[in-house]
Amino acid sequence: MFTNVSEEALFPTFVWVHDLEPARAEALNARMFRDIDRMTAPRPQLQPGQNWQTEQTLHEHPQFAELVEIIEAAVRGVISRMALEHEAFELTALWANINPPGAPHPPHFHPNNFLSGVYYLQVTEGQDSITFHEPRTQVDIVAPHVQRFSQYTAPHYSMPVKPGRLVIFPAWLTHSVKRNESQRLRISISFNAMFADYVEKLSRPRWQGIPLRAISEDESA
Ligand SMILES: [Fe+2]
C-alpha cells in the first residue's frame, strides 16, 4: 500500500552523555571528595530527607580546575555539534549536591542559562539515575493509556549515571533525582553555562532598519 513508511523525530530534546576514562575519574573523584569534605566542614545538622549543596562558586577554586577543564571541553563539543554562531560561553556556577540517605531532589530547572549538567562522584547501584521530565506540557491534553512506555510516550525518563559520567542538557529541561534509598551519600557536581556575549551580541535584533541620522536640538523642537 505504501512505498515507504518512516518515523521522523521532529524537535527532539537532546541530553549529551560523556564518560571520563575510568582511571582518571577515580583519581579526580577521590581528590574532589576530599576537597569538598574539607571545604564544607563543619556542616550543619540536617533533618531526615534533607539535601545539602555547596556554594555555587566551586569553579573559582583551583581545586576544581581539572573538572572545569573537562566540563568546558564537553560544552564546547555540544556547541560545536549544534553549529551555533556564538561559541564563547562562561561557566556561571559550579556546586556540589549531596543527597544523604532518604533524600530526594525534587523537579526543577536552571533559569537564565543555556546549558546545565551534572558530573557524578559517588552513586550507589539502584540509586544511579537522573530523571528528565516531559517538557511539552500540552502533550497530556489527550493522554491515551500505553501498553509499554518508551522514550516517545513516557512522561519522564530516568537516565543511568555512574561515577565519572558527565550529563549535559538544556538548562530549561526539568529534572529530578529519586529518593536515595541506599545508606551511602550520593554526590554530584552541577554546573550552569551561558553565552559570554549574550547581551552584547546575541540579544541584539538580527534585522536592519532605516538608518538614523543625528538631529540638532533646533530640529527636534
Ligand atoms: Fe539541577
CATH of domain 23-38+50-134+153-199: 2.60.120.620
Higher per-residue confidence, 107 vs 152 = 107
Summarize pLDDT for 153-194 with one digit per residue, the tens: 899 999 999 999 999 999 999 999 999 999 999 999 999 999
Over residues 13-30, the mean pLDDT reads 98
CA 147 – ligand 1 centroid, Å: 31
Q: What grid cell was written down for 191?
A: 554546573
How many CA atoms does the CB half-sphere of 203 hold within 13 Å? 7
Q: What is the pTM of this model?
A: 0.92
Summarize pLDDT for 33-63 with one digit per residue, the tens: 999 999 998 887 888 888 899 999 999 999 9
CA 126 – ligand 1 centroid, Å: 20
**Coil, strand or helix at 47:** coil
CA 131 – ligand 1 centroid, Å: 10
CA 37 – ligand 1 centroid, Å: 21
